Structure 1
């Protein structure tokens, strides 16, 4: 956890450019020259239309092993760890970062029980675990996210879409991450489930200063976390603001409020 103390901010992007390779083998820039800062305990929402590069940015900052995605310019630090060439620190990066990928709830491993899915961030790192303590931790997360405690023995295909999304959220919070990166956080969630998820994130921010990066155009999530706003279009930052209602557009682009959370 020393890196947490050494890092001045949770995330620092400096002229960051990201390319994605196509099936043909050529690569196109999906993020081009992005500068952004996420302070410890803060929240930042990355908004914009489909194809703006939001998901690619989230995946790189989370340290996700996504084929074809690479940093081709600039760099970003996540809790002081460079995403471009993290080396041995990559394991620390993914330990400190909870990542909810887009569609994560729909892609839960079908052969694992809910308890095994949520426990995976721990069991995949070490075979020596206290099974009783792990079960208690899973039960606490289920309760926190308003899921029935008996769900732990069920399989993902037995759950509703909203339940699967909350199981995916629980898995990404299992290690009490210092940075939580969520792509389409509120997918398939009803009102009470949304409140439970937002409350869980706020509790961690207050308890130990967890920082949150949201990707998507859900206004309720942005406002619920008091997030600052970064708007992307075609991989470029075109607007920034302290909230969705206070956005400053770049002087060389025409303001388009359809790009902001609705």
Structure 2
């Protein structure tokens, strides 16, 4: 499955998103957001809990949950409109790797680590080269600092930090052009955080991987030489290149403290 490589990984234009709750109440969670992620570059979304950043990330990855609807604007991700993906919806899931906020904590309990990491391939192809697939899984685990012995283990046998890296390995399995990661460093100790940053930065440098990450660590912004976009109640309240280069709206003092070093 192939696609022409778009000049920009993400072009988000005046995007507005609502969420309809179980009682039918409709809340606008993202309101008029505009930005671009150029090929091979990184953008970090930051903001307080409930600011809309996780919903925005999920929509851009084509992984929005029930009740989430785009009601204004559009976003073109890897050349595909997320508002009207049509037949290209499956292609979007191949070109874009998505690490959700709770993915590390919700790994399939009855699958081994090897099966979980291989799932993006095995769920799409009936016939696979088992040896090549096993090698690919082992390579990803090694890249993320996980022991080869983890291949046959089940999620309950792993620490929270190891499960998080297993989820990331699964995200990278199809060699996506863009990774959308919601708190990719959650539950990781200092050493594991550096391993994950190094793995993603290496792919960005060597393969032109584009990144959109939800994170509040200035170290992550600096490591990826990232642009930064801050949200507050669904509105953009700060934007710029790097933490020090951000321009803030006058009413965003609370959000500024999220990235103070």
TM-score range, shorter chain: over 0.9
2:55–2:64 Cα contact (<8 Å) kept? no
Give the secondary structure class of the aligned counterpart of 2:30. strand
1:132-147 aligned within 5 A: 132-147=131-146
Q: CA deviation at 1:219?
A: 2.2
1:169-208 aligned within 5 A: 169-208=168-207
- The superposition leaves residues 64-116 of structure 1 with CA deviations (integer Å, 9 ceiling, x where unpaired) of 15111111110000011000010110111010001100021110000000000
Q: CA deviation at 1:261?
A: 6.0
- Counterpart position of 1:229: 228
- Counterpart position of 2:72: 73
Residue-pair matches, total: 260
1:121–1:175 Cα contact (<8 Å) kept? yes
- Counterpart position of 1:240: 239
**1:158 has 2:154 as partner:** no
Q: CA deviation at 1:208?
A: 1.9
Q: Structure 1 runs of 4+ off > 2 angstroms?
A: 1-5, 252-256, 259-262
- Counterpart position of 2:32: 33
Distance 1:74 1:103, change over 3 A: same
- Counterpart position of 1:111: 110
Q: Tell me the distance in 1 between the aligned counterparts of 2:181 and 2:109.
A: 22
Q: Where does structure 1 lack aligned partners over 5 or more consecutive residues?
A: none
Q: Tell me the distance in 2 between the aligned counterparts of 1:100 and 1:218.
A: 17
Give the secondary structure class of the aligned counterpart of 2:11. strand
Q: Where does structure 2 lack aligned partners over 5 or more consecutive residues?
A: none
1:186–1:218 Cα contact (<8 Å) kept? no
- Counterpart position of 1:20: 19
Distance 1:215 1:176, change over 3 A: same
1:20–1:30 Cα contact (<8 Å) kept? yes
Aligned CA RMSD, in angstroms, stands at 1.4
Give the secondary structure class of the aligned counterpart of 1:15. strand
TM-score scaled by length of structure 1? 0.95
Q: Tell me the distance in 1 between the aligned counterparts of 2:141 and 2:10.
A: 29
1:217–1:261 Cα contact (<8 Å) kept? no
